[in-house]
């Protein structure tokens, strides 16, 4: 791993051991806040983001930071997504974390001109570290990986309808689900992207495409020679804050099939 990868892993492990894991399954009632409908934040999210913000600022003082909680408090933070910036999700999968379940993880990306150029995904429970740099491949705990389909027939699709309206939910059931063995998503992008590369799921799609949820994972899966992009085939950009829809797959061929079905929604 590079020196930056080593530094990022050390930061993620430290904040996990200091803040995230000690509070897991030990949150008091007042430690969990519903910041929007079906969206939770915990004191651990806020403390972890504060630590990562401070650490990344020391690492690169001139690079602004777009953190999930900072952007929720002040949407103008999102303006930094068009330039060079760090993108931080202190606990991805907060709903699981707040309910004492796994998976959950930390996601950090470095972006420039609207595109992720490096990404890191850390699972504190399994101590799994996924990392990638643009053009240099994808790695898990320092070992290079290439995306592999499950080999199942029909293919395995992880589909969530949480953020879909009633019409689109029905369309998914009518036009997409019959072509796959549908399984539940982990409600955690930090887990879903690895599942698409490591032979657990073949395809998935995401309705919401917030930068902190997807910047690191999109880069990592594409570097693993899977395929992730917008349903129309255009690349995912972190600065397209109002767009929805990403399709991810373990191979370009699997992506093509789901994209054709998705177009009917």
Predicted local distance difference test score (pLDDT) of residue 175: 87
Give the Å distances, CA to CA, from 33 to 36, 40, 94, 98: 9, 6, 11, 10
Query: CA dist 245 to 137, 231, 242, Å?
Result: 24, 7, 10
Domain at 3-145: CATH code = 3.30.540.10
* Rounded distance between C-alpha atoms, residue 129 and residue 123, angstroms: 7
Single pTM value for the model: 0.95
Q: CB neighbours of 43 closer than 8 A, spacing ≥ 6? A: 23, 27, 31
Tell me how many degrees the CA angle 105-146-143 measures, rounded to the nearest 5. 65
- Residue 252: both structure tokens together: 């370009």
Whole-number average pLDDT of the chain: 95
- Give me the sign of the Cα torsion angle 141, 23, 41, 167: positive
CATH 3.30.540.10 in the chain: give the residue spans. 3-145
CATH class, range 156-262: alpha beta
pLDDT computed for residue 174 by the predictor: 85
Give the per-residue pLDDT at 17.
98
Q: What per-residue confidence (pLDDT) applies to 264? A: 81
For the stretch 52-90, pLDDT in tens is 999 999 999 999 999 999 999 999 999 999 999 999 999
Within 13 Å, how many C-alpha atoms sit on residue 167's CB side?
Answer: 2
Other CB atoms within 10 Å distance of the CB of residue 105:
34
Q: Dump pLDDT digits (tens) for 104-119.
A: 999 999 999 999 999 9
Q: How many CA atoms lie within 13 A of 5 on its CB side?
A: 17
Q: What was the pLDDT predicted at 100? A: 96
Q: Which residues are annotated as a binding site for Mg(2+)?
A: 68, 89, 91-92, 213
Task: From 86, 112, 99, select the one nearest 12 (Cα to Cα).
Answer: 86
pLDDT per position in the chain (265 positions), as tens? 899 999 999 999 999 999 999 999 999 989 999 987 778 999 999 999 999 999 999 999 999 999 999 999 999 999 999 999 999 999 999 999 999 999 999 999 999 999 999 999 999 999 999 999 999 999 999 999 999 999 999 999 998 877 777 888 888 888 898 999 999 899 999 999 999 999 999 999 999 999 999 999 999 999 999 999 999 999 999 999 999 999 999 999 999 999 999 888 7
Q: Residue ranges for the binding site? A: 68, 89, 91-92, 213
What stretch(es) of the chain map to CATH 3.40.190.80?
Answer: 156-262
- Reduced to 3 states (helix: H, G, I; strand: E, B; else coil), residue 157 is strand
């Amino acid at each position: 791993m590079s020196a930056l990868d080593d530094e990022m892993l050390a930061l993620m492990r430290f904040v996990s051991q200091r803040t995230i894991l000690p509070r897991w399954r030990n949150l008091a009632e007042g430690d969990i806040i519903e910041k929007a409908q079906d969206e939770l934040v915990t004191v651990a999210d806020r403390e972890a983001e504060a630590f990562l913000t401070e650490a990344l600022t020391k690492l690169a003082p001139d690079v602004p930071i777009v953190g999930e909680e900072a952007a929720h408090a002040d949407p103008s933070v999102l303006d930094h997504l068009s330039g060079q910036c760090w993108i931080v999700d202190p606990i991805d999968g907060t709903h699981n974390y707040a309910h004492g379940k796994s998976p959950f993880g930390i996601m950090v990306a470095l972006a420039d001109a609207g595109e992720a150029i490096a990404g890191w995904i850390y699972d504190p429970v399994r101590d799994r570290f996924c990392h990638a740099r643009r053009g240099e491949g994808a790695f898990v705990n320092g070992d290079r990986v290439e995306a592999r389909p499950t080999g199942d027939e029909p293919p395995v699709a992880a589909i969530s309808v949480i953020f879909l309206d009633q019409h689109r939910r029905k369309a998914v059931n009518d036009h997409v689900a019959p072509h796959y063995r549908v399984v539940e998503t982990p409600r955690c992008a930090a887990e879903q992207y690895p599942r698409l590369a490591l032979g657990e799921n073949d395809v998935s799609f995401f309705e919401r495409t917030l930068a902190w949820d997807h910047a690191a994972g999109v880069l990592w899966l594409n570097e693993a020679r899977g395929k992730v992009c917008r349903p129309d085939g255009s690349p995912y950009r972190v600065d397209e804050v109002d767009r929805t829809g990403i399709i991810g797959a373990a191979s370009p061929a699997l992506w093509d099939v789901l994209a054709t079905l998705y177009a009917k929604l």
